Amino acid sequence: MQTIAFVGFGEAANAFVDGWGVQRRRLVKAFDIKTDNAMENVAAGKHADYLNARISGCTTLGEALDNADLVFSTVTADQALAAARNTAALIGPGAFYLDMNSCAPASKRAAAEAIEAAGARYVDVAVMSPALPLRHHAPLLVSGPHADEALVILENLDMRPALAEGPVGTASAIKMIRSIMVKGIEALVVECVLSATREGVDAVVLPSLEKTFPGFGWTERSAYMLERVMVHGTRRAAEMEEAARTAADLGLSGRMAQATAEWQKIVGALELGELSEAEKADYRLLAQKILARLD
């Protein structure tokens, strides 16, 4: 039963803790930079997250890391390297640092350098599906020199890890390259459905796509994908910036991933995340809501 610290406490961290159950939660501490936000409602919202999850919310990173054997880094992709470097100054020798952020392999290797220099053990972890609804059973890929030990730790937490053989960056390369396609389809759906809705031809376009790609379920999937971009677009944009970097580091342009990041960023910045269940189920309502705000 390790003492567990979360650096960043958003949707994924909340989902994992919820899946572990009450007994494990008593050993969990967390620090999220939103508790330092100048806007009182943002800070209060994060403190409420700690309370609802029934974990120990900390006011400083050092407090969260004190005596922690196992550190989960679950911040946004653009903050992952900074989080690793800040943690490196405070983490205990021998502690495991599980970097679960959606970053390019080069970003993971830079983070690993900082953590390993502090005497801790860095593990590259890629979360291969949304944390909800699977919670702690979301599939994980693990790579790096401490991967075998991390597999045992994660399995003991009733999580679902698998080995991605190779150095730090291997698991993340798989995740990032896959995201070029997965998040790219989301961006295409956004542009296609918004265009079709504005022109008033969506009732023809989507059934036509269903004939071309039978079984995809374009009406339902369009609603789901629009909702994900509306709620998580800003975070997904940061991830796709890292995917673009992954492609660029491989000598490719990364243009498609960069274009995906732009759509994710545009919709995410509209801050339309408060959606009713009726809206979530209807792509037209979602598209109209985006178009109204864009106008």
Q: Do 140 and 18 belong to one domain?
A: yes
Write out the two tokens for 265: 């960023």
Average pLDDT, integer, range 29-44: 90
**With a threshold of 0.85, does the pTM exceed it?**
yes
Write out the two tokens for 292: 């109204």
What percent of the chain is modeled with pLDDT above 70?
Answer: 100
Q: Do 81 and 131 belong to one domain?
A: yes
Q: Do 178 and 105 belong to one domain?
A: no
User: Beta 96-99 vs 70-73: how paired, if at all?
Assistant: parallel
24 pLDDT band, cuts 50/70/90, is confident
22 pLDDT band, cuts 50/70/90, is confident
Q: Do 194 and 74 belong to one domain?
A: no
Q: Do 36 and 111 belong to one domain?
A: yes
How many Å separate Cα 288 from the centre of its chain?
A: 27
Q: Do 50 and 103 belong to one domain?
A: yes
Q: Do 34 and 15 belong to one domain?
A: yes
Average pLDDT, integer, range 195-202: 98
CATH at 114: 3.40.50.720
Q: Do 120 and 198 belong to one domain?
A: no
Instruction: Name the β-bridge partners of 4.
Output: 28, 70
Q: Flag whether pLDDT at 172 surpasses 70.
A: yes
Tell me, what's the pLDDT at 56? Answer: 95
Q: Do 32 and 53 belong to one domain?
A: yes
User: What's the total number of domains in the chain?
Assistant: 2
Tell me, what's the pLDDT at 137? Answer: 98
Domain containing 107 equals 4-168
Helices (H) and strands (E) in the chain, counts: 13, 8
CATH at 181: 1.10.1040.10
Burial of 56 (0-12, 13-18, 19+ CB in 10 A): middle
Residue where the block lists tokens 């269903």: 210
Q: Domain end: 135, 168, 201, which one?
A: 168
Q: Give the Cα separation of 150 and 142 in Å (integer).
A: 8
Tell me, what's the pLDDT at 1? Answer: 58
